Amino acid sequence: MMAEVANIKNAVSPNEILFVVDSMTGQDAVNTAKAFNDRLDFSGVVLTKLDGDTRGGAALSIKYTVNKPIKFISSGEKMDTLDVFYPDRMAQRILGMGDITSLVEKAQEQFDEEQAKKLEKKIRKNKFDFADFKAQLEQIKKMGNLKDLMGMIPGVGKHIKDIDISDDSFKGIEAIINSMTPQERADPDLIDSSRRRRIAKGSGKDITEVNSFMKQFEQMREMMKNMNKMNMFGKTMGMRK
Amino acid sequence: MFESLSDKLESAFKNLKGQGRITELNIASTVKEIRRALVDADVNYKIAKEFTDRVKDKAMGEKVINAISPGQLMTKIVKDELADLMGGQESSFDAKGNPAVILIAGLQGSGKTTFSGKLANYLKTRKGLSPLLVAADVYRPAAIEQLKIIGDQVGVDVYTEEENKNPVSIVQNAV
Ligand SMILES: Nc1nc2c(ncn2[C@@H]2O[C@H](COP(=O)(O)OP(=O)(O)O)[C@@H](O)[C@H]2O)c(=O)[nH]1
Ligand SMILES: [Mg+2]
């Protein structure tokens, strides 16, 4: 079979020869890549089935082993689940730094670019508030592949990995945010315990649910803050070189 | 994605909590845990070992900056090294030419047909190109049918020669 592919290669000199490999197969994926590359000298790798329970070995060692770049990643059976591969973003995701860049980009594809920029700026300035959160929920709901998208928000990925997320899961959160005043949405620090009680009543939620949502939101903001620090740190290190 | 690896790395960094600075001594167990996390993720030992050696060298070579905790420093170093290991820069994709030819190869069941549909969809909707899918898997008649269905889904034509058993000539005719 490989001989035949090599014949096709010789006959039509392709611009790109992409080697497709199932990321679930780990070390085997790497060995197969090596065999194909020895024979075909392909130009890039496509990792598939990243939506499955893959441990990461293939993604981490293919480039090292065959010295060919991963060009695309495929994570689902639907036709829009293809992404260009960015090593740095993947590294950030692995470290739970979220993937705000990808999130912003996905949003840009379908929504107003201007708005996405504003959001990124707010995150950088640590001004992310409930109004932004709500706007994001609205957008995310329309984007499909909910859990994946949520996983890209810094600090959220870990919390949702065992949760089955459907659109309904957002209804509670939305109810809570809807029961806040515009001032409260814009200034989360304003929300003290008596305000929380009022919000709980207004949204028909338990006070503990409101509290735990507030806490999660706080954690998310904390993560964003850390991420900002990390980025600034990266720049300083860059200058010293 | 890669959740177990993420969790293990996170717990490796936790070892450094409360440490004022990185020393040969306090970094040892963190480095070991990082290596184990990689091996558990099915990275081969040699790659994992070289990886953690580099991480360690970098960590020991960093100047102490008060604003940065050892945990943050390690996270940053590991992030950079992971990105490097996976290729560093974003790579290019060449779709220039009339026609540009993209050959897709791999083991059975790896996801070639599915990916071909996705790529055609991507090139069409995001790059404004007019791709043509060519079925060259002559061993499995079902594969041709599957490609047609996928082409249909993404609104891209599929070129087939169902009587022809020679993939080279099919591809040449298509081009
Ligand atoms: N979950 C998931 N399944 C995939 C992905 N890519 C392909 N598959 C499935 O894997 C199986 C084999 O894919 P196919 O494209 O026919 O592989 P081929 O034999 O290489 O052409 C099919 O059931 C696909 O639906 C992916 O990224 N994620
Ligand atoms: Mg196929």
Looking at the predicted complex, does its ipTM rise above 0.90?
yes
Residue B32 belongs to a domain:
yes
Residue B37 belongs to a domain:
yes
Tell me which of A103-112, A120-129, A183-192, B49-58 is least confident.
A103-112
Q: How many CB atoms lie within 10 A of CB A162?
A: 7
* Together in a domain, B58 and B130: no
**Does ligand 1 lie within 6 Å of residue B89's CB atom?**
no
* Together in a domain, B13 and B74: yes
Residue B16 belongs to a domain:
yes
Structure tokens at A138: 């609205």
Residue B98 belongs to a domain:
no
* Together in a domain, B74 and B141: no
* Ligand lying nearest the CA atom of residue B116: 1
The amino acid at A107:
A
Domain, as residue range, for B162 = 112-174
CA gap A12, B14 in Å, rounded: 54
Q: What CATH number does residue B52 fall under?
A: 1.20.120.140
The radius of gyration of chain A from alpha carbons, rounded to an integer in Å, stands at: 22
The number of domains in chain B is: 2
Fill in the DSSP letter of residue A25: G
All residues of chain A having their beta carbon less than 8 Å from the beta carbon of residue B168 are: 4, 7-8, 11
Residue B123 belongs to a domain:
yes
Placement of tokens 């290596």 in the chain: B35
CB contact A239 to B (< 8 Å): no
Residue B42 belongs to a domain:
yes
Q: Answer for the pair B94, A15: CB distance below 8 angstroms, yes or no.
A: yes
Which of B4, B79, B171 is the closest to A12 by Cβ? Answer: B171
* Together in a domain, B55 and B7: yes
Confidence (pTM): 0.70
* Together in a domain, B124 and B70: no
Q: pLDDT band at A236, cuts 50/70/90?
A: very low
Residue B129 belongs to a domain:
yes
* Together in a domain, B143 and B75: no
Q: pLDDT band at B15, cuts 50/70/90?
A: confident
> Which of 84-113 (A) contact B at CB < 8 A?
84-88, 90-97
- Verify whether the Cβ–Cβ distance A58 to B106 is below 8 Å: no
A162 vs B31, more confident:
B31
CA of A77 from ligand 1 middle (Å) equals 7
Q: Answer for the pair A5, B93: CB distance below 8 angstroms, yes or no.
A: no
Q: Supply the pLDDT for residue A1.
A: 72
CA gap B151, B144 in Å, rounded: 10
| Mean pLDDT computed over A7-33 | 93
| C-alpha distance from residue B42 to each of A25, B38, B82 (Å) | 9, 7, 14
Residues 6+ apart with CB under 8 A from B143: B113, B135, B137
pLDDT tens digits, residue range A144-189? 555 666 666 666 666 666 666 555 667 788 889 999 998 999 898 8
Residue B104 belongs to a domain:
no
The average confidence (pLDDT) of chain A is: 80
* Domains parsed from chain A with CATH numbers: 2-95 (3.40.50.300), 109-240 (1.10.260.30)
* Together in a domain, B81 and B117: no
Select from B103, B112, B132, B172 the residue whose CB has the most chain A CBs within 10 Å, as the one to mutate to test that interface: B103
pLDDT above 80: residue A7: yes
Local structure of A195: helix, strand or coil: helix
Residues in chain B: 175
Q: Supply the pLDDT for residue A159.
A: 63
The average confidence (pLDDT) of chain B is: 90
Question: Of B31, B66, B85, which closes a domain?
Answer: B85
Helical H runs in chain A?
2-12, 26-40, 57-66, 87-94, 100-110, 113-124, 130-143, 146-151, 157-160, 167-178, 182-186, 193-203, 207-240
* Together in a domain, B76 and B148: no
